[in-house]
Amino acid sequence: MGRGAFIVFEGLDRAGKSTQVSMLTDALRERGVAVQKQSFPDRSTAIGKLIDDYLTKKVEFSPEAAHLLFSANRWECKDRLIKSLEEGTTLVVDRYAASGAAYAAANSGQTLEWCSQPDRGLPAPDLVIFLRVGEEEQQKRANWGEERFERVETQRKIGKNFDRLADSRTWFGVDAQRDKAAIHAEILERVLKAIHECADQSPLENQE
């Protein structure tokens, strides 16, 4: 049996990633695909707890220090992620290195290049599903504005950074302002194709 596919969801806050991650995971499971869900930040680890305190504004870190914690939170999961993929399990991941770089560059003023560096060498996603949502829609959604970074100006900068990071080979943009079921159907079709391709051949690549 071939390896699992590494599927990542990216997008601004309140784009609907968590909903789509759950819908996708359930649909794959129903089809008999071995699948695991993962979110970054993974707030359950010791590093993740620091990140949670930072996001909910209980502690302060310099933007660069915060970024290195987000990256460390991915590095601490690296072996487990690779093992699952090699065992044939498909991973559906809510945010990954692109969020790291896009948010850190907006928050710190460092270049995207600088902000991409800490994640180099981590496994790279086979497919990045990018959920596009406009700022008016974003602000209408539940709990908008609660956490750090949920401000219009900041989100605008982050959105531009995502556009610069998107690569045509692995990124799949989706209009996330439609009906949930329609968004899900489009994503599922693309992901099933990626799962086939990964099982057939392509070795896991590293984050550049």
Q: Could you list the residues that contact Mg ion (CB under 5 A)?
A: 13
54 binds ligand TMP (CB under 6 A): no
Q: Which of residues 10 and 13 has its CB atom nearest to Mg ion in the complex? A: 13
Q: Which of residues 13 and 119 has its CB atom nearest to Mg ion in the complex? A: 13
Q: Which stretch binds ligand TMP (CB under 6 A): 29-37, 83-91, 93-101, 187-195?
A: 93-101
Contact 108, 64 (CB under 8 A): yes
- List the one residue from 16, 23, 25, 70 that touches ligand TMP (CB under 6 A): 70
Distance, CA of 65 to CA of 60 (rounded, Å): 10
103 binds ligand TMP (CB under 6 A): yes
6 binds ligand TMP (CB under 6 A): no
144 binds ligand TMP (CB under 6 A): no
Distance, CA of 187 to CA of 190 (rounded, Å): 5
Query: Considering the complex, what minimum distance in angstroms separates the CB of residue 196 from Mg ion?
Result: 32
Q: Which residues contact 67 (CB under 8 A, 6 or more apart)?
A: 100, 103, 104, 107, 108, 115, 118
Q: Which residues contact 97 (CB under 8 A, 6 or more apart)?
A: 71, 74, 116, 119, 122, 124, 207
Name the residue type at position 67: H
Contact residues for ligand TMP (CB under 6 A)? 13, 40-41, 55, 70, 94-95, 99-100, 103, 147, 149
